[in-house]
Amino acid sequence: MLRQRFVLDTTALTDTQMRKVIGSSKLCDGMRVALDLIAEVRLQFGISCYVAFPSVYDELHEFAKNNGCDSDVIAKIDTWLVKKAPDRYNVMIPSRIFHEYVSYMRERINKGMGVAEETIWEAAIECLFLTSEAKNKHEIEEKIEREVIGGIIGKFRNKYRSALRYGILDSAPDIDVLLLAKELDAAVVASDLGIQKWAEQLGVRFVPAASFPMMLREYLKHTPSLAYSGEGELFDNLP
């Protein structure tokens, strides 16, 4: 049997939908169960799960520590995830991919500018309208701040994130995940739509984070020597 390789993005262990699949409401519990599954398939099938070092590895440590995870979660990260720095110099990526990425980023930036201009214009119109009804300067400032600016800024932030960040690579760890997967001929595990889009462009296999635990469980169901419940519970008599 050909051994599978997976490269995990941070979201592979922190995604909310992934936790729902494995029945864990808390982040630390979800990470613990997912890492236990990874440990079992590593021991039974030799399946390796990699994390880009140091970028994704550091993010996982930070998530675990900031959410008050016990030391055993940190130990599982260090034990069962293979740390490897991507070869940023020798991994060959077609120049067309970068050309498309630059064009795509320019388009998204222009969309972000358009949203900002629209929001600023809306704020100016609302301010002028309210000024005509106000009795004094203090009333104008208070009413504008409470009823206009706060709501408009909130809408602006949501629109800006959607226009500029949705579906793009916006961090060094994202790029490291793709480069490492390309280098190892491995599948990427993530919930990030930007990673998914560019994994397809690079010809890299993609596994949604929410589907990954079910995939691992499916492997374990077909292990003759493993007493596995199929519900994420590992029995005490396991080797």
Average pLDDT, the chain: 83
Average of per-residue pLDDT across 92-108: 81
pLDDT tens, residue by residue, 173-221? 889 999 999 999 999 999 988 899 899 989 999 999 999 999 999 999 8
- pLDDT in the model for residue 112: 84
Identify the band that residue 236 occupies on the pLDDT scale cut at 50, 70 and 90. very low
Domains in the chain: boundaries: 5-85+170-221, 95-164
Average of per-residue pLDDT across 87-104: 84
Give the relative orientation of helices 55-66 and 172-184 as an angle to the nearest 10 degrees. 130
DSSP conformational letter for 4: P
* Helical (H) or strand (E) element with 81: strand 81-84
pLDDT tens, residue by residue, 28-43? 999 999 999 999 999 9
Residue 233 has pLDDT above 80, yes or no: no
Give the relative orientation of helices 71-80 and 55-66 as an angle to the nearest 10 degrees. 160
pLDDT tens, residue by residue, 131-146? 656 555 555 556 666 6
Q: Which CATH class is domain 5-85+170-221?
A: alpha beta
- pLDDT in the model for residue 139: 56
**162 touches 125 (CB < 8 A):** no
Token pair listed for 31? 């990470």
Residue carrying structure tokens 């949705």? 166
Residue carrying structure tokens 């994994």? 199
Residue carrying structure tokens 């140091």? 54
CA distance 70 to 85: 26
Percent residues over pLDDT 70 in the chain = 79
Cis status of the peptide bond prior to 208, with omega within 30 of 0: no
Rg over CA atoms, the chain: 23
Q: What percentage of the chain's residues is helix, strand, coil (to nearest 5)? A: 65, 10, 30
Percent residues over pLDDT 90 in the chain = 50
The pTM for the full model equals 0.72
Average of per-residue pLDDT across 219-238: 53
